[in-house]
Structure 1
């Protein structure tokens, strides 16, 4: 979206989105997916322009384009669910949408990344990965522009445990730990860390669903189907030509522990990488704050304290930062609003 004209009253930008030409071009050409409004500068008010689903003529389209270039086309924020559902298909639009609030961008990004990740987990092939990668790069560009934007995502960590929600939680927590402990972080590492954290549990997609949903202790043969999941995920990414260090470390080391008690390689503290240490803390915390079939959800403060206490297994550098995040209420859910439709 373009910048709001100085002649447009502030209350309008609070109730309406101003549409840029990039946003307009993303809509179906002849039938707008939501109501469109025109700003009348002579009366400083918005008036209906075209209705949702209305068939536009070529003349209407040209008129709409000219008004849009002039910054005079708006949609109502009450249509946020429709707008959000539309924009997740072209996530890069959030980078040109100056009037989207951080909370709205976070919700849109979470929906888009969740859908792309779900598609890739179901079909881990290169064409599907390319779409997923494109949206992850939009997310990292958004965070790179202002790392404080990550706070809006952390306030939206899910308390419902699915592979997708867990992966997103681990992404937000893990990136925060990385950014808080590396002031000179390069963009390339941010991109790689985001991909690695999102796909750290890729191998779990190959574990039978009935095992993941069990509420009773696993049998030995069932546990044997879970333990190799780090290696399975690493093999999938290797076949796609994406076995860079951060990816391999996050996938292979998120269950490793500093005292050598983890799996699958039982690495000691001197062999667990920085990415592995971050992934271990983020993965464990993200799981602990969710209700799972075999464990009750902990509140963030209790979960962070539990990890900080276990200094033999988790790096105190990162568990301390996690406690700081909890103390700053970064995991407090935002005030209830009408969420966009998934």
Structure 2
């Protein structure tokens, strides 16, 4: 955050926010994509410094950075969509911009993770994964400071079903349920691994033809068999990316296993499913149930959580925690 050397009136802080030096430096040098304002202490208000798209001179560029360091360069909150679209592609900037509201940061995280997962599922290779990994680590760094921040993301779950949206939702719900079950007690490394596991538990679906994933009518036996191989595809991809740690393997291999042995791929029963696998099964099904799919209407989150809590094929403890959160309006 810029060091503030002047007293900024509350009405200014509500409609505008100071731009941090790192954010300003990340914009195109001579053509910032947003309007910039400078605070004039003599009149206790803002005046335009430059307009979006306007080409700045070298002197104006230097002056902008000087004003920024003094804490008197501002951005209008009306420009937040442009501002956030920029940060989405450089997500680590949310950690240095202390002027963003928690709700604004949550919007940025959801859009950024959606973008990175879309890129990764389209091209699941190391160089693309590295960008996704970096953004997930930015999220865990953000939550490491205060894990209750995840609630703002939970208010923004996607309601249209796509592989990307499902993965984002699962990551967010999974992290919350994981931390809630642990009552906020965790080691950073544990959170990092769990977060990767929840966001990537379904990455094997990227290997299933899209026409099967998006089919609006019941799948044929052959198509269902192909879908049921996605866990194995996911495990192979995880190994290829150097992600063969226990947490991600549990989520990939066990999120479709059920207590009565009716699941897949190994058809194991309750005692053979790991705790994290049981949690991920609840998360995966819940996130599917609350979205609008070609073959099923979206359920209200509370109704989905209630249904899972009553279904003996799932871990009642995790489903009940989720149900209670919606009953009490925790989000």
User: TM-score w.r.t. structure 2 length?
Assistant: 0.97
What is the CA distance between 1:330 and its match in structure 2?
Answer: 4.4
Distance 2:24 2:136 in 1: 23
Q: Deviation at 1:4?
A: 5.6
1:290 aligns with: 291
Q: Which gives a bigger RCO, structure 1 or 2 (Cα 8 Å, sep 6+)?
A: 1
Deviation at 1:168, TM superposition (A): 0.9
Change (3 A) 1:6 1:307: farther
Which residue of the partner structure matches residue 98 of structure 1? 98
2:7 matched to which residue of 1?
A: 7
Pick closer, same or farther for the CA change 1:329–1:258 going to 2, 3 Å.
same
Give the structure 1 partner of residue 195 of structure 2.
194
The question of whether the paired residues in 1 share the 8 Å contact of 2:92 and 2:138 is answered with yes
Q: Partners of 2:3 and 2:101 in 1: how far apart?
A: 13
SS in 2 for 1:8: coil
Of stretches 203-212 and 104-113 in structure 1, the one that deviates more from structure 2 is 203-212
Q: How many residue pairs end up in the alignment? A: 330
- CA offset at residue 107 of structure 1? 0.5
The CA distance in 1 between the partners of 2:105 and 2:3, in whole Å, is 16
**Contact in 1 for aligned 2:126/2:241 (Cα 8 Å):** yes
Asked whether the 8 Å contact 1:281–1:314 carries over to 2, the reply is yes
Structure 2 counterparts to residues 186-335 of structure 1, below 5 A: 186-310=187-311, 312-330=312-330
Q: Does 1:158 align with 2:158?
A: yes
- 1:162-198, CA deviations, whole angstroms, 9 ceiling, x for partnerless residues? 1111111111111111111113211111111111111
CA distance in 1, matches of 2:302, 2:85: 34
Q: Distance in 2 between matches of 1:211 and 1:4?
A: 56
Q: Deviations over 1:184-218 (max 9, x none)?
A: 21111111111111111101112122222223222
Find the aligned partners of 1:3 and 1:267 in 2 and give their Cα distance.
58
Give the Cα separation in 2 of the matches to 1:229 and 1:118.
17
Note closer, same or farther for the CA distance 1:278–1:3 as it changes in structure 2 (3 Å cut): farther
String of CA shifts for 1:224-255, please: whole Å, max 9, x gaps. 11001011011011011111111111111000
In the TM superposition, residue 328 of structure 1 has moved relative to its aligned partner by 2.8
Displacement after TM superposition at 1:6 (Å): 6.2
TM-score by length of 1: 0.94
2:48 counterpart SS class: strand
Preserved contact between residue 3 and residue 98 of structure 1 (Cα < 8 Å): no
What's the C-alpha RMSD, in Å, of the aligned pairs?
A: 1.3
1:52-67 equivalences under 5 Å are: 52-67=52-67
Deviation at 1:54, TM superposition (A): 1.6
Residue of structure 2 in register with 1:148 after alignment: 148
Q: Which runs of 4+ in 1 moved over 6 A?
A: none
In structure 2, what is the equivalent of residue 334 of structure 1?
none
User: How far does the alpha carbon of each residue in 1:116-167 deviate from its partner, in whole angstroms, 9 at most, with x for none?
Assistant: 1111111111111111111111111111111111110111111110111111
Consecutive unaligned residues of structure 2, counting only runs of 5 or more, are none
- Cα distance in 2 for partners of 1:96, 1:302 equals 39
For the 8 Å contact 1:203–1:230, the answer to whether it is kept is yes
